[in-house]
Structure 1
Amino acid sequence: MPWTLPSRPSRRSLLAGTAGTAGAALLSGCSVGRATDAALTIPLERRMRESAVRDSTRLLERYDATAAAHPALSARLAPLRAAVAAHTAALSLTPSAPPSPSRSGGTGAAAPAASGEPVPPAPAEALTALADAERSLSESRTIDLAGAPGELARLLASVAACGAVHAYLLTSNPGATS
């Protein structure tokens, strides 16, 4: 007669399984209720803020490289860059003054941005590249909202919305009437 599996576990196997699980929990030092929600969200929030600050800093460097390569765009870029600097400061864990633009002599040539990508030589293309960077960062921040703690999520949502507006402003034709 072939052996078949019992339809339900025996009392002995249930007791052994429960004892094994309890023993493993004790040996691993696991304790229920010891970690609070605040203790769990602080490291996550710190990582998310540090990443957001790095991304904003790279975007600031792109603004600086674009303004250096195309000095005629500096006045148009200045208020947008100032907003990105304010976002960087707001996202930072330590209060500090927003980074000021670096003033390297612009030659109009394809100056490399901080990301290593060259600034396009044509002003319109440079604005489009900057708008693409703003749009990409805005989309990334929108995705990050799902895992962000409450207050940081609200801040990321505001910064993402502002980035989407920046992308629009960079690709719109200033002074044109419609």
Structure 2
Amino acid sequence: MRRTGTTRRGAFTATGALALGAVLAGCGDGPGRGKDSARSGAATAAEQASAARAEERIRTAAARTGLELLGGYEQVIRAHPATAAGLSPLRDAVRAHAKALAPADGQAPALPRSRAADAEAGLKELAAAERRAADAHLAALMEAPPELARLLASIAAAGAAHAYLLTELAKETSS
């Protein structure tokens, strides 16, 4: 005997049909067509210019963060040459990230001085700097356009991994 009434499959089909209808209804002529197109075109151009300035500002700040981090790696490697083997791959990744973020007219910032007396302290300082950089990149995600947001998220994830690796390298160095 066949059950009558509404089935789960029927409810899903009806919901899907309603959703498809709503999507198709939204694809018609919008306010950008016809007599309002000049006004909306000007607003769109202004919005694009504003978005481009915001992206440039975010890129500049993120690149500055990356270059400062790169300078920290260089200082620790210079002060403690025994750490060069472990830090070189991470430093190279940070250099690539800074290059990917750098705007066309990017300039190198002044590098902070390391206060670390030994290799372990230098590595812990770098790990903290990587965490701060990752946090800064994550904070910038909310304002960034989609393509830049994906790049920042990827670099933030790499920074978190670098912080973990640096922490582990500091533990090994102390032994």
TM-score (norm 2): 0.67
Q: 1:39 to 1:148 in 2, by over 3 A?
A: same
Rounded to whole Å, the distance in 2 between the matches of 1:53 and 1:143 is 14
Q: 1:130 to 1:173 in 2, by over 3 A?
A: closer
Match for 1:150 among 126, 137, 146?
A: 146
Are residues 1:55 and 2:65 paired? yes
Are residues 1:167 and 2:158 paired? no
Identify the residue that residue 80 of structure 2 maps to in structure 1.
70
Are residues 1:120 and 2:116 paired? yes
CA contact (8 A) 2:123 2:169 kept: no
More helix by share: 2
Residues 75-127 of structure 1 deviation map (CA, whole Å, 9 limit, x = unaligned): 1110000000000111123399xx9xxxxxxxxxxxxx9223x3411211110
Alignment of 1:1-178 (within 5 A): 33=40, 34-36=42-44, 37-94=47-104, 114-116=111-113, 118-173=114-169
Deviation at 1:140, TM superposition (A): 1.2
Number of matched residues? 130
Percent identical residues = 42
Letter of the 1:59 counterpart: L
Rounded to whole Å, the distance in 2 between the matches of 1:59 and 1:128 is 13
Rounded to whole Å, the distance in 2 between the matches of 1:152 and 1:141 is 10
Runs of 4+ in 1 over 3 A off after TM superposition: 173-176
- Secondary structure of 1:50 counterpart: helix
Rounded to whole Å, the distance in 1 between the matches of 2:43 and 2:98 is 31
Structure 1 residues without counterparts, runs of 5 or longer: 1-30, 100-112
- Secondary structure of 1:146 counterpart: coil
Letter of the 1:61 counterpart: G
Letter of the 2:90 counterpart: L
